[in-house]
Structure 1
Amino acid sequence: MGSNTDRSPHYGALQDVVDGLFADTCVEAVRRLDVVIAAEAADLPADLSEVISLLPPGTYTRLRLCDQINSSIGGHAWGQVYGTVE
């Protein structure tokens, strides 16, 4: 990858993981383990797997999960490369 502003082919991959976890409108929260399994199933690149591995144990609403993921992405300055989640 050239720089931290070049879009990765994996841009939006974390959004797909989040959308999949909350696809059922009845789901109000997910466990960290659910997120890790979904990320592994998505075959994410190492950088994005690292973002997921940094999640602290616990239960996450969509908003809390997005905040945690976006915080990690921002901390690595990867927003332009991989995108943020909502």
Structure 2
Amino acid sequence: MEYGSFQAEEFGDLQRLVDGLFYDRRAIDRLDLIVQAEILDLAPDLMEIVNLLPPGYYDRQSLCDQLNSALAAHGWGAVYGTVE
């Protein structure tokens, strides 16, 4: 699929996922992230990004760093948005 410089319909979905996970928590583990992403039925490209995270516990900043690194490596930051 050629992405060019458009924003996907799913733009911002990862940000909403992160916001929801950290609404009332300071840290999550990778399994929490994957389960919530599956519940939200994220697009296959976004599930690929989520599944790239190594096992472990993440505070918000470390999770965002990992997700943004994976998005950048795929060149998808402009298409799907980065997370904070």
TM-score by length of 1: 0.93
The one-letter code sitting in structure 2 at the alignment partner of 1:69 is: L
* Percent sequence identity over aligned pairs: 51
Any residues of structure 2 matched to 1:1-86 within 5 Å, and which?
Answer: 2-24=2-24, 27-86=25-84
Name the SS of the counterpart of 1:35 in structure 2.
helix
TM-score by length of 2: 0.95
Cα distance change of structure 1 residues 10 and 28 upon mapping to structure 2, 3 Å threshold: same
The CA RMSD measured in Å over matched residues stands at 1.0
8 Å Cα contact 1:51-1:73 kept in structure 2: yes
8 Å Cα contact 1:7-1:81 kept in structure 2: yes
Q: What runs of 5+ residues in structure 2 fail to find an aligned partner?
A: none
| Partner Cα separation in structure 1 for residue 8 and residue 58 of structure 2 | 26
Deviation at 1:28, TM superposition (A): 1.2
Q: What runs of 5+ residues in structure 1 fail to find an aligned partner?
A: none
| Partner Cα separation in structure 2 for residue 4 and residue 78 of structure 1 | 10
